[in-house]
Structure 1
Amino acid sequence: MDMKEILKSGIEQALQETINSGGLPAGEYPEIVLEVPPQKEFGDFSTNIAMQSARVARQNPRAIAETLISHMDFDWLERAEVAGAGFINFFLKSDMVYDTLKAILNAGDQYGVQPLRARDTIQVEYVSANPTGPLHVGHGRGAAYGSALVNLLRAAGYNVQSEYYINDAGNQIDNMAISIEYRFQELQGATLVFPPKRNEDGSMPEFDIPEGALVFPFPENGYRGPDIIETAKAIAEREGFDKLNAMNEADRVALFKEEGLKEKLARLEETLSNFRVTFDNWFSERTVHEADEIHHSVEALKALGKVYEKDGALWLKSTDYGDDKDRVVIRDNGVPTYLAADIAYHRNKYDRGFKEMIDIWGADHHGYVCRVKAAMAAFGYDPDKLTVLLLQMVALFRDGQLVKLSKRSG
């Protein structure tokens, strides 16, 4: 027990001895509350238990305080004094303070750690950056925050599972694979031309195509970082240029997609491990697609009357749960939105039976909080079991100019 618990136990003992000796009548006395006095001359701790007990004991608070003090003969107590209308101020022996400090030092990093409560399950999902390039300092902030939160919750006795949600499905992975393909062609002498930024109206400005450009243009949504060049070179050296050139483009891009994803994930895990951040579970978005969980989730919402059709698309009735407008879950071309995948993933989380779930997102995802919670409420889950914490990205400047943090731009 810490010093406050020892003192509280001592007051309870003194109160019971006073009742047993007839100094106070039996009854239901209030809970003992300890406070640290504002000034050191008033002692190390103070309690108003005598004042709070006056109604039960039908005695003057100062008289109650004096009686309690008379039953306090503890080896850790230097003295106790009555103050004001009936406060009791406690002055502890200095040895007790030193012993507490020794106990803290002896306990080391286990000081304050509570026993595991296996039933108090919490899942914390954080970082979850797209596996398309190296992590940057913005991701590092989320990694540090999430890891510290996991460690604190575990020290408090919670049964915590940390999870990284791998966004290994969708356009960003396809764009990465195509980017590797173009860099592979560049390794063999092709000239790549990078399109400039779009005009304010969204149109693409005219630009010159160098004569002899064998591959044109580099995808507008491609990944331009030097890591893609390294990936293309590593795969080409491992698989062999002849083998890769003998494949048709579609098969080669498919290989680049799988091999590139493996390499990026390995680099992510290595970087996080060097940062002393590890995860209990790496959850692949692909498993949600392969198990057709998106379709099942949308059909379940439809059966509950929470989804309707409009303009050929399927819409979630998120306004029923506080959202400012309803949201598309299946586009008019039959392709699920990112929200649909998030809904299926979070439904999977709820079905795994955690008592509480915490997501740590970048502030640019704030609009999704209400949508995901709305979908969980529509399923009949308790949306308050999901807490979303938002982290603002760091801002970096070079020569007075803001530097954008982006895997896509490198």
Structure 2
Amino acid sequence: MSPEELAQEINSVCQSLAEQVALGALTAEDIPAPERVAVMRPKDRAHGDWSTNIAMQLAKRAGMKPRELAQAIASELGSGHGIASVEVAGPGFINITLDAAASAAVVDTVLDEGVRYGTNDHLAGRTLNLEFVSANPTGPIHIGGTRWAAVGDSLARVLQANGAKVVREYYFNDHGEQINRFAKSLVAAAHGEPAPADGYKGAYIDEIARRVIDQAKADGVDILGLPRVDSGSNDEGEPLGEGDSAQREEFRKRAVPMMFAEIQESMKDFRVDFDVWFHENGLYEDGEVDRAFDVLRSKGDLFEKDGATWFASTKHGDDKDRVVIKSDGNYAYFAADIAYYYNKRHRKQDPADVAIYMLGADHHGYIGRMMAMCAAFGDQPGENMQILIGQMVNVMKDGKPVRMSKRAGNVVTIDDLVQAVGVDAARYSLARTDYNQSVDIDLDLLASHTNENPVYYVQYAHARSRNVDRNAAAAGVDAALADLGLLDSAAAETVLAQLALYPSVVQTAADQRAPHRLAHYLEDLAGAYHRWYNLERVVPMPLTDPESRRGGEGAAELEKAKNPEPALAAARLRLNDAVQQVIANGLGLLGVDAPEKM
């Protein structure tokens, strides 16, 4: 019996008692729906398989003492199918113990549903636009962007497992001052000059500059021979930017697409497939900025002051109003943010019910203005727009931190991390920690094949279960003979309980935007499986243990554990396979492989 099924049973019992006026002043309408009935795993397994605090939640409205209400519910619940016993504990907790067959029924459920086990449709009918990474195309993706790649793609998979339509989106900032600084830095590097004070520097800038020069040469363009001073227009006759030059423009138009292509390739290699690659330039070229501004003007949320155009964001909770068109006629950066959100909500294909932004720690100050903008369009902040802020990643090597700065040039990139530890370890390690917290990535640990390495620990459980299958097939263990009611040992019951938790973990990970919960769950399941594996065999093995030969205390239990009868061996094989399925399902949601052998 799963926690969801138990919650349904508790709801039904409460509804029945309310109709009988057995719950004081409570009516059937006061009873929470099954999905709102809290069913938890007790910290101490001696207190049962599951626990609920529903009596404590309802006692005040019922006009009863919590323990009195709990006893009334427990008395009815104890007669339910698959429930071995129900006890009231503490101030009003109801502790429930399932019978062995009901507890083990989860094995059949897992194996029948296969890859669908754990999925649900509670987000069906909703389109969630999930924008993540969105690093500037001024170089390779650094470790912070790599964290968002792992977390964002894992979250997308989890949301899809809950029935949502998810649009993975990458926003290219290819319009603005950072691109100008990038081009200036490349020109300086090409001439062996120091980087501009506000520019980018380091070995990767030198490498990009050399590649641009080589590409231009192959195309018959002497890029270093082009004017370095403002020549008024580029080779298509279009005006150049302020203080720009033909040489800088040539570096810009070659280097930025080069970075786009590299970023896309890095994402693909990291198993992240975006549905939309959105270019900031398009907001201006396609009139998206003007369309969004027209809507805000119609609502009275744009005004003129000091020769500039302002967004009246204080009307919607921001701490100050924001300039959107500067006095010199140029758009402020926030103009693109406004247009981009409006575009997400109103585009013709897959308009977003919810726009989720995954931003770095340095964007925390943007939340107020972004939510104000959301409200100005008539949307609900925190519902139609959700902003997740990720914290820093610290890379450790040989026990020492690896210092990183993209501007200084000593970055650790996504490709560096993958080369050092592989895609599986990189994705898992970055997704397993709450993005609200900073994380230390120990390269030495992640490259090791030890139980201290969390991804190895989980993957090894899957590989071990596959090895059990191979051995069982060779020994002729027949899964059709299984009697799941025989899975009554403490170790087996712990594994069964973990299997039953999986669907609720998947739903919680989606609702709380917390894919790290899935990783923690997998580690708990793997731990329970490894302990069970070390105690109980699937494939019979005649005992040579001295204690068994002497017939001492515990010999019968040891014989059963190591040399099970066919029905028990078959039941253990099915339990083994259920664990295997759930680990594969969970790793799949994290974008991590489930290996056959290790």
- Measured in 2, the distance between the counterparts of 1:195 and 1:50 equals 68
Deviation at 1:65, TM superposition (A): 6.3
- Measured in 2, the distance between the counterparts of 1:368 and 1:78 equals 54
1:367 equivalent to 2:365? Answer yes
Among candidates 166, 185, 188, match of residue 172 of structure 2: 166
Partner of 1:389: 388
Deviations 1:131-179 (A, max 9, x none): 1211111211222222222222222222211111111112322343444
1:313 equivalent to 2:279? Answer no
Deviation at 1:382, TM superposition (A): 3.0
Cα distance change, pair 92–147 in 1 and its aligned pair in 2 (3 A): same
Identity of aligned residues (%): 34
Partner of 2:375: 377
Cα distance change, pair 164–79 in 1 and its aligned pair in 2 (3 A): same
Partner of 2:529: none
Partner of 1:221: 199
Is the Cα–Cα contact under 8 Å of residues 61 and 85 in structure 1 kept in the other structure?
Answer: no
Is the Cα–Cα contact under 8 Å of residues 65 and 87 in structure 1 kept in the other structure?
Answer: no
| SS of residue in 1 equivalent to 2:389 | strand
Is the Cα–Cα contact under 8 Å of residues 74 and 86 in structure 2 kept in the other structure?
Answer: no
- Measured in 2, the distance between the counterparts of 1:86 and 1:365 equals 45
| SS of residue in 1 equivalent to 2:388 | strand
Is the Cα–Cα contact under 8 Å of residues 172 and 277 in structure 2 kept in the other structure?
Answer: yes
- Measured in 1, the distance between the counterparts of 2:145 and 2:74 equals 60
- Measured in 1, the distance between the counterparts of 2:378 and 2:329 equals 26
- Measured in 2, the distance between the counterparts of 1:19 and 1:402 equals 62
Is the Cα–Cα contact under 8 Å of residues 361 and 392 in structure 2 kept in the other structure?
Answer: yes
Query: Of Structure 1 and Structure 2, which has the larger fraction of its residues in helix?
Result: 2
Among candidates 157, 166, 171, match of residue 163 of structure 2: 157
Letter in 1 for 2:199: N
- Measured in 2, the distance between the counterparts of 1:362 and 1:110 equals 33
- Measured in 2, the distance between the counterparts of 1:371 and 1:395 equals 29
For structure 2, list consecutive stretches of 5 or more residues without a partner in the other structure. 229-233, 236-245, 411-598
Letter in 2 for 1:235: Q
Is the Cα–Cα contact under 8 Å of residues 122 and 160 in structure 1 kept in the other structure?
Answer: yes
Partner of 1:293: 288
Deviation at 1:387, TM superposition (A): 1.4
Cα distance change, pair 69–366 in 1 and its aligned pair in 2 (3 A): closer
Query: Of Structure 1 and Structure 2, which has the larger fraction of its residues in strand?
Result: 1
Deviation at 1:39, TM superposition (A): 4.6
| SS of residue in 1 equivalent to 2:153 | helix
Deviation at 1:103, TM superposition (A): 4.0
Query: RMSD of the alignment, in Å?
Result: 4.2
Letter in 2 for 1:113: T
- Measured in 2, the distance between the counterparts of 1:95 and 1:323 equals 57
Deviation at 1:69, TM superposition (A): 6.5
Is the Cα–Cα contact under 8 Å of residues 118 and 158 in structure 1 kept in the other structure?
Answer: yes
- Measured in 2, the distance between the counterparts of 1:19 and 1:397 equals 59
Letter in 2 for 1:295: D
For structure 1, list consecutive stretches of 5 or more residues without a partner in the other structure. 198-219
Q: Select between 264-273 and 116-125 the one with higher mean Cα deviation.
A: 116-125
Deviations 1:290-340 (A, max 9, x none): 023223433543443323333322222222223222222111111111111
- Measured in 1, the distance between the counterparts of 2:53 and 2:147 equals 45
Letter in 1 for 2:175: A
Partner of 1:43: 48
1:122-133 aligned within 5 A = 122-133=128-139
Is the Cα–Cα contact under 8 Å of residues 14 and 71 in structure 1 kept in the other structure?
Answer: no
Is the Cα–Cα contact under 8 Å of residues 133 and 227 in structure 1 kept in the other structure?
Answer: no
1:225-304 aligned within 5 A = 225-241=205-221, 250-251=234-235, 253=247, 254-304=249-299
Is the Cα–Cα contact under 8 Å of residues 361 and 389 in structure 1 kept in the other structure?
Answer: yes
| SS of residue in 2 equivalent to 1:163 | strand
Cα distance change, pair 93–341 in 1 and its aligned pair in 2 (3 A): same
Letter in 1 for 2:406: S
Partner of 1:203: none
Is the Cα–Cα contact under 8 Å of residues 359 and 387 in structure 2 kept in the other structure?
Answer: yes
Cα distance change, pair 404–65 in 1 and its aligned pair in 2 (3 A): closer
Is the Cα–Cα contact under 8 Å of residues 132 and 358 in structure 2 kept in the other structure?
Answer: yes
Deviations 1:262-301 (A, max 9, x none): 2111100111222222211111111101023223433543
Deviations 1:360-410 (A, max 9, x none): 111212222212222333333333321111122334589989834215746
| SS of residue in 2 equivalent to 1:119 | coil
Give the alignment's TM-score, normalised by structure 1. 0.74
Deviation at 1:231, TM superposition (A): 2.8
Cα distance change, pair 277–15 in 1 and its aligned pair in 2 (3 A): closer
Cα distance change, pair 310–87 in 1 and its aligned pair in 2 (3 A): closer
Partner of 1:111: 117
Which is higher, the Rg of structure 1 or of structure 2?
Answer: 1
